[in-house]
Chain A
Amino acid sequence: QGTRYDQERLLRKSCTLYVGNLSFYTTEEQIHELFGKSGDIKKVIMGLDKVKKTACGFCFVEYYARADAENAMRYINGTRLDDRIIRTDWDAGFKEGRQYGRGRSGGQVRDEYRQDYDAGRGGYGKTVQCQ
């Protein structure tokens, strides 16, 4: 219960957003341009495949001011980047190691079991690919 309370408090004060459903080809520069529309960005940390160390479709965006992150949640969440609807969520804060995908193959968990074909995210899900 204590950790959940701490977690909620961190989220409420956070200036960091998790950004999901990115294309593997989306660059830090594109993310900076789009998310810069809601305020000055402190840092962008690209999500990486743990094995290949290449982009695996998510990132963290940290702002200097919480208000700017709030505006990103209001106006950038649910719009398109590289023709894909991206999703943002509050993040408790980046810690070393969190930039890696936690799927068994090295990418994100959602790409392990995905059944559909997504050209921007390596094609079929990993499990499907191995079949």
Chain B
Amino acid sequence: AGQPHKRRRTSEPSEIEERLESLICRVGEKSNSSLESNLEGLAGVLEADLPNYKSKILRILCTVARLLPEKLTVYTTLVGLLNARNYNFGGEFVEAMIRQLKECLKVNMYNEAVHLVRFLSDLVNCHVIAAPSMVAMFENFVSVTQEEDVPQVRCDWYMFAFLSSLPWVGKELYEKKDAEMDRLLSQTESYLKRRQKIHVPMLQVWTADKPHPQEEYLDCLWSQIQKLKKDRWQERHILRPYLAFDSILCEALQHNLPPFTPPPHTEDSVYPMPRVIFRMFDYTDDPEGPVMPGSHSVERFVIEENLHCIIKSHWKERKTCAAQLLSYPGNNKIPLNYHIVEVIFAELFQLPSPPHIEVMYTTLLIELCKLQPGSLPQVLAQATEMLYMRLDTMNTTCVDRFINWFSHHLSNFQFRWSWEDWSDCLTQDLEKPKPKFVREVLEKCMRLSYHQRIIDIVPASFSVLSPANPVCIYKYGDESNRSLPGYTVALCLTIAIKNKASNDEIFSILKDVPNPNQDDDDDEGFTFNPLKIEVFVQTLLHLAAKSFSHSFSALAKFHEVFKTLAESDEGKLHVLRVVYEVWKNHPQMIAVLVDKMIRTQIVDCAAVANWIFSSELAHDFTRFYIWEILHSTIRKMNKHVLKIHKELEETKARLARQHKRRDSDDDDDDDDRSSDREDGPLEEQIERLQEKVESAQSEQKNLFLVIFQRFIMLLTEHLVRCETGGIDVFTPWYKSCIERLQQIFLQHHQIIQQYMVTLENLLFTAELDHHILAVFQQFCALQA
């Protein structure tokens, strides 16, 4: 857009195409006329336009089938009506859908492929597709479970695609082909019994089974389908517009699905990760309102699927998303607010990662509260209370997300909360989940406001959990500290920096600082001198303490000094230690300084990892900010590798284009000569970039190995200590630490997959304590 282009002929076709797209996309939305009459009208319009716009209409319908699954039955009805009027069109549509399905599977778009399969199966209800041919397709799906040497996640997907279509079409298929369906269901049962579920604990939000078990998604779906079968496939929740058109549709001729062979497994196939079904509500939580469908009812499945689909369709527009969620049909028959809140938290707490960026859920919930101010805030408060009550068994990563959500939410509502209701946590050990949660929430609330505000909003009894005043600690600040080594140099530095000294002047002042590590000054260079680092970094950070910008300017201005002092690995580690000593009351400042120092290469990622596991930080090891820093560090490393890789690919592409130009028939001597001249540098560039990529990838691998190694050391120490002392392994610290290890695997699983052989042979060997090895085995099971 914005590019000057030839003036388009205001041709009718493009206007009509846009109108068709708009009509199709909007059918089913709030309207003055009934859905049935809208569908009938639209079918008539489309039928009339088929001669001229058939391929466009086919394309739009295929797209809405793929991208608007929450309106599945609206569109299958539409296709049914069109098929009744034009048999050939129906056939072409089915063929187009099969092509689209194959394409999706080829490019690993498995979530969208499920929607397509469901759409096809609902077309059986609309008399577009013959039931026996649908059963045949499902037979091919289920037979994937007989394939040898394929990942379980592959079989899982085909099973899921089959089972999750049954709420829509189970009744019809069973009526027409009960023997075949029984056989499929029994094959399903035996597959589900024999598939391994080692991965499940890693994906559960709570470790406890009460009040609601965190079921593996296929197990839950199977229970739901079994119950549906027991209820003779009676399903009453799904809106089925085609029922109103039965007399028309049953006159239509049906098509047979072509035999569908699932595309074979390849090295590039990436199947969806297994999931655990998140449940936090049941019918007892809303005694006044409509009854919430049970956890094994198919209604529950359909409602949750549709709500997830609505979020997937509208996540970029929070106001639309909220409105669409609240206008989900069946409002007076189901406790919709509870379903919505449960589905949103299901996504927010999903492991390994939420489907969308965390902050979206916060603002979506705020929009929902705005639209339903009389009811939704109460449900949300109830949910918060329940989540708080179950903190003891909540996965640490999920607690992180709960902390982020709750503090950000409160900041939009003047931090109003009935804190006294949570005074039970005040009598507990501060490391226990509940008081820890409140501390972290208050710290985050402070970051979004200011210290005194937090003191004001909590009862006085909560002061033990209140965050420290985020002030800097300068060890050379007081006259009483003048006996400290380096004190006079610190004073000198302070004056010099205030007088806008240069890096050279700083170096010469620092030369006078003795090195406590050395007896003689036999080297004139700047080797690791912890005292020099201490004096310089303490003084500079203290002078720049006013704001982030001041500190960043200081880092930039004296970058040379930093680089020199922190040249060695010990130097880097010591810089980080001093930063911590100065700013331990202000974790946010520590985080932004570490970020800047990595980006300006004062410290490297491995130094940060080693610092986090160092004994100096043991006291803060379970605090949230430490893990934010570590994961941010890993992400920077990952982005760095991607960036250089991209540069390499782009340069290779440039070289390829150049070769193509040169190889093409071109007698122009000048051109040949100039491109020859360019080739040299390009090839050199590629070689250099290749080296850069390899070195970055090696650094990245090393980072993960360091982290895993340190975890293993730390955990083994604890396990041995407990064993010899005869005490219970499962302390709050241990739970936190082992879940932090899990978090590394989960949050960076794609990268870590590359290192499986090294990890197995070097670190996670059979000699390892089984507690630690179990984490690795669960991770392996995720894509097995």
Contacts and interface: CB of A to CB of B under 8 A. Distances in A.
Contacts of B589: 29
A81 B445 CA distance: 11
A83 B445 CA distance: 12
A28 B548 CA distance: 7
A71 B447 contact: no
Contact of A71 (B359, B412, B414, B588): B359
Interface in A14-35: 27-30, 32-34
A79 interface: yes
Interface in A49-96: 71, 74-76, 79-83
B412 A44 contact: no
Interface in B531-571: 547-549
B67 to A, nearest CB: 19
A110 interface: no
Given A75-B318, A75-B363, A46 B448 contact: no
B617 interface: no
Given A28-B549, A79-B363, A74 B449 contact: no
Contacts, number: 64
Given A80-B411, A80-B412, A38 B357 contact: yes
A104 interface: no
Given A27-B547, A79-B363, A37 B358 contact: yes
B592 A32 contact: yes
A33 B448 contact: yes
Contact of B412 (A9, A38, A79): A79
Contacts of B450: 27, 30
B411 A76 contact: no
B362 interface: yes
B360 interface: yes
Contact of B359 (A29, A37, A46): A37
A8 B359 CA distance: 28
Contacts of A76: 359, 363
A32 B448 contact: no
A75 B359 contact: yes
Nearest to A74: B316
B57 interface: no
A8 to B, nearest CB: 6
B749 to A, nearest CB: 21
B408 interface: yes
A34 B360 CA distance: 13
Given A38-B359, A71-B357, A74-B360, A44 B2 contact: no
Contact of B2 (A8, A37, A38, A46): A8
A32 B357 contact: no
B120 interface: no
B363 A33 contact: no
Contacts of A71: 357, 359-360
Nearest to A70: B316
Nearest to B549: A28
Contacts of A44: 548-549
Residue from the set B359, B366, B589 with the largest chain A CB neighbour count within 10 Å: B359
Contacts of A38: 357, 359
A32 B372 CA distance: 31
Contacts of A79: 363, 366, 412
A28 B412 contact: no
A75 B447 contact: no
Given A28-B548, A28-B549, A75 B360 contact: yes
B318 A74 contact: yes
A79 B549 CA distance: 24
Nearest to B360: A75
Contacts of B411: 80-81
Interface in B341-396: 357-360, 362-363, 366
B359 A83 contact: no
A40 B448 CA distance: 17
A82 B360 CA distance: 20
Contacts of A46: 549
A27 B546 CA distance: 11
Nearest to A76: B359
A127 B756 CA distance: 69
B448 A34 contact: yes
A29 B588 contact: yes
A44 B550 CA distance: 12
A40 B549 CA distance: 15
A76 B2 CA distance: 28
A28 B547 contact: yes
B588 A32 contact: yes
A68 B366 CA distance: 20
A111 B258 CA distance: 70
B448 A75 contact: no
Nearest to A65: B639
B547 A29 contact: yes
Contacts of A29: 447, 547-548, 588-589
B412 A33 contact: no
B363 to A, nearest CB: 5
A68 to B, nearest CB: 9
B186 to A, nearest CB: 47
Interface in B445-477: 447-450
Contacts of B318: 74-75
Given A33-B588, A74-B318, A81-B411, 6 more contacts: A27-B547, A28-B549, A30-B450, A32-B592, A79-B412, A82-B449
Per CB-CB distance, the 4 closest pairs between chain A and chain B, nearest first, are A33-B447, A37-B359, A75-B363, A80-B412
25 contacts: A29-B589, A30-B449, A30-B450, A32-B548, A32-B588, A33-B444, A37-B358, A37-B359, A37-B408, A44-B548, A44-B549, A46-B549, A71-B357, A74-B318, A74-B360, A74-B363, A75-B318, A75-B357, A75-B360, A75-B362, A76-B359, A76-B363, A79-B363, A79-B366, A80-B412
